[in-house]
Structure 1
Amino acid sequence: MLARQRQAVILEEARRTGAVRVSDLVGRLGVSDMTVRRDLDVLASRGLVEKVYGGATSISSRSTDEPGFEAKSVRQRLHKEVIAVTAARLVKPGTAIGISAGTTTWTLARALEAIPGLTVVTNSIRVADVLRDSAQLDRTVVLTGGVRTPSDALVGPVAVQSLRSLHLDIVFLGVHGMAEGPGFTTPNLTESETDRALVESGRRLVVLADHTKWGTVGISTIAELDEAHVVVSDAELPEDARQTLGEHVGELLIADVPSVTGDDA
């Protein structure tokens, strides 16, 4: 297969599924790891895909575009891990917390393993799966009902009604984008309504958002910047973003990434 043909196959797969992995492409195309990476470099240089750790994701700028969970899970992986560890330090044993859907909040769920006595309410199937497999026998996990979205969130009237009757200590919110004016946003209208109900159920709101979320705007606002008690981001967050967030949110926590490879950027 010629290079142009391989790249067409890779691009088609990235657009169909939202993401491709080098390991999968090696087997499918019958070429070496280095050949696949060179093809991804070509596609990235043309602005057709974005290289991430272990592969690439499709590129789209529309406010209603919503990549699937697998596509988002490989983006900014190291940044999400340090953000999750930093956010987990805000959780005390025996508290009731809410966790929204998303890959950063899914990473947070894994970082909560050692904290005993938690009651966790979530509309994320992925988060619930992580917490269900926890070794903490005194943990209570409440999964709201609802209709499943591309990000594996459960949304809609059933989820909203469930959340409106709850009173949580902290709500951890993952977002598609954040910007001055629109605030914290999502590309899914139904998910925004459910997320707003989750936000309203908590006494404190902690937003988890890596640096790539700054300046990204989804179609629907979940919360204004002023509503966040804490925003946890990473060290690559631009200075103008830090200044703006510092003027609006209660506290901005910056998590350091020990080392970042080119594929993770």
Structure 2
Amino acid sequence: MANYYHENVKLENQIPAMIASLDGSFIENYFPYDVFIPSHWHRSLEISLLENAEVVLQIGEKEYVIDNDFTCVNSGVVHSLRAQTIRENPHCLIVLISYDFMKQYYPDIDHTSFDLSLKKDHSDLKNLYHRLEELYLNQDKYTYLDITACLFEIFALLLREYKVEKQYRRTKSSKNQEQIKEILTYLHEHYQEPLSLSDMADSFYMSKEYFSRQFHHYVGKTFRDYLSSYRLYKAYDDIINSDMSIQDIARLHGFLNVKSFIKLFSETYHFTPLQYRKKMSRN
């Protein structure tokens, strides 16, 4: 899943959604402990079913603990995720429904958001998701029609049971959200470079205090903590999928010294980078 700062959702096989079924081994390898998935957004509606696992969904300064249930992220909303608890036989079905698909069949989608907390019982939605996954994992040349039909049912259920009208106007808050997206895009493209709070604030014509306050409000982390977490997130792949030295990985991903990299990695994964590489290679 590249380009998390603005995820480019690729549709496949004429299906108006991106679908991913994650089994236990994948989840345990890529979401161990308190792993952080950086802030990102997309035009698609993201509703994922999580089973035998618990995550914290961060939207701005608000945290939502999702345990054995659905996560719901509306179009254009900046959000991040971290794993909280992974139990035996975890499973996740990720579904990102195409904005263009929703817009075509429900033109008022820009004035609409979805709130799953409107109902405590999500069994109808869960049944549709289980059917969708069964179709997705057992496709023939015509199954894309069945999958699309199932997505229509899901979308119709969301509109009937979970729709919330929103006023669509250009407020100060919405302008700030757009600016935060620009800031995150810049940060993700330049994270390997020395980035200071002062330089970032100057680049976006803000005072340090205002920049810091706005960043924390919309991202849920301080600028320094987020930058460190993002650098670690990008370095993770090189730890488990390359034979680069730890010093080279730290330097490549913007850490000023290898000690700070090892310390942050150990605090997050409970192993040093070399210990973790050996553990993953055995698995």
TM-score w.r.t. the length of structure 2 is 0.24
Q: Which has the larger radius of gyration?
A: 2
Which protein is richer in helix relative to its size? 2
